[in-house]
Amino acid sequence: MAIKGAVLGDILGSQYEFNRPKNLDWKNIPLIADGKAKFTDDSVMALAIKKALDESTDLVETMIAVGKRYPFCGYGAKFYWWINGKKHEPYNSWGNGSAMRVAYVGEYYDNYDEMQRMAKVTAAVSHNHPEGIKGSVVTATCIWMAKHDKSKQEIYDYVLSQYPKEEYEYSIAYSLDEIRSRYKWNESCQGSVPAAMRCFYESTDYESFIRNVFSLECDSDTFGAIAGGVAEEFYGGFGSVDAEGIFRKYLDDYLYEILMK
């Protein structure tokens, strides 16, 4: 399930979102360290969208209701006020929040057009900048492609068509070796989605995907949430990673129930 891949990526990536050691031994460190991991706003909003789709409830109302339960889970300032203010209107954001929360859309819809339409809808409630919408659509589409047995090369080619090398600083065309030394923490969709998908592209299983995320000084929980769903669908699970144990340990009962429903 892509939603599990996204939530796991968020939890594992949260360890190095901030205060990442300069010389992190990302190839050999334990995958999870006591006291560092947690769920963030990425999981909260991804699961809010899942709840809305599963229960056929209003999307915005559900995002607000779920979001208000976790006021300190890491929202950006504008999205915090989107949830807690009186008006819940889009604010032209190109931030990666639209991509981090869309995993279940790529999993839920078998119809390609419906999947893309709903990916736009889940973005546009707040992140209605063209890049915010694109980030959501690309993420959901990559998940959909992985679920429907498209090859890694086909997924790469699709992402490249949306983020060409000539126009995007962190296009998927650049290898991780090429961007490691120059990548800077970036909260935009255009600075996050193609690089996160490159982490998937260069992986061989879910764990190596996460370690690729660890290798960059990036918004690592969101990278995990963006491409974690693709990795889970493509590899058909988590391999030796104890995903269920991590979910049970790090999610509260409310979020765990939404995830497992």
Query: Of the given ranges (18-27, 90-99, 169-178, 249-258), which has the lowest mean pLDDT?
Result: 18-27
Angle at Cα 71 formed by Cα 91 and Cα 102, nearest 5°? 55
Rg of the Cα atoms in the chain? 16
Instruction: Please check the confidence at residue 14 and state whether its pLDDT lies above 90.
Output: yes
Residue with tokens 């498209």: 150
Q: Any binding-site annotation on 242?
A: no
Question: What percentage of the chain carries pLDDT values higher than 70?
Answer: 100
pLDDT confidence of residue 128: 98
Q: Any binding-site annotation on 42?
A: yes
**Domain 2-18+37-260 listed as CATH 3.40.50.300:** no
Instruction: Please check the confidence at residue 119 and state whether its pLDDT lies above 90.
Output: yes
Where does residue 76 fall: left (phi above 0), alpha (psi -120 to 50 degrees), or beta otherwise?
A: beta
Rounded average pLDDT over 232-238: 98
The pair of structure tokens assigned to 95 is 């931030």
25, 211 contact by CB (below 8 A) = no
pLDDT confidence of residue 163: 98
Instruction: Please check the confidence at residue 33 and state whether its pLDDT lies above 90.
Output: no
Q: Any binding-site annotation on 62?
A: no
Rounded average pLDDT over 75-90: 95
pLDDT band with cut points at 50, 70 and 90 for residue 6? very high
pLDDT band with cut points at 50, 70 and 90 for residue 244? very high
Rounded average pLDDT over 140-161: 98
- Dihedral (C-alpha) 135, 138, 141, 143: value to the nearest 10 degrees? -70
pLDDT band with cut points at 50, 70 and 90 for residue 146? very high
pLDDT confidence of residue 19: 84
Instruction: Please check the confidence at residue 16 and state whether its pLDDT lies above 90.
Output: yes
Residue with tokens 């992140």: 127
User: Per residue in 40-55, pLDDT tens?
Assistant: 999 999 999 999 999 9
Residue 25 makes CB contacts below 8 A (sequence gap 6+) with: none
pTM over cut 0.85 = yes
Rounded average pLDDT over 200-225: 98
pLDDT confidence of residue 35: 84
> Domain residues of the chain, as ranges?
2-18+37-260
Residue with tokens 């982490």: 199
Rounded average pLDDT over 155-183: 97
> CB neighbours (10 Å) of residue 72?
7
Q: Any binding-site annotation on 222?
A: yes
Angle at Cα 5 formed by Cα 204 and Cα 9, nearest 5°? 85
Instruction: Please check the confidence at residue 67 and state whether its pLDDT lies above 90.
Output: yes
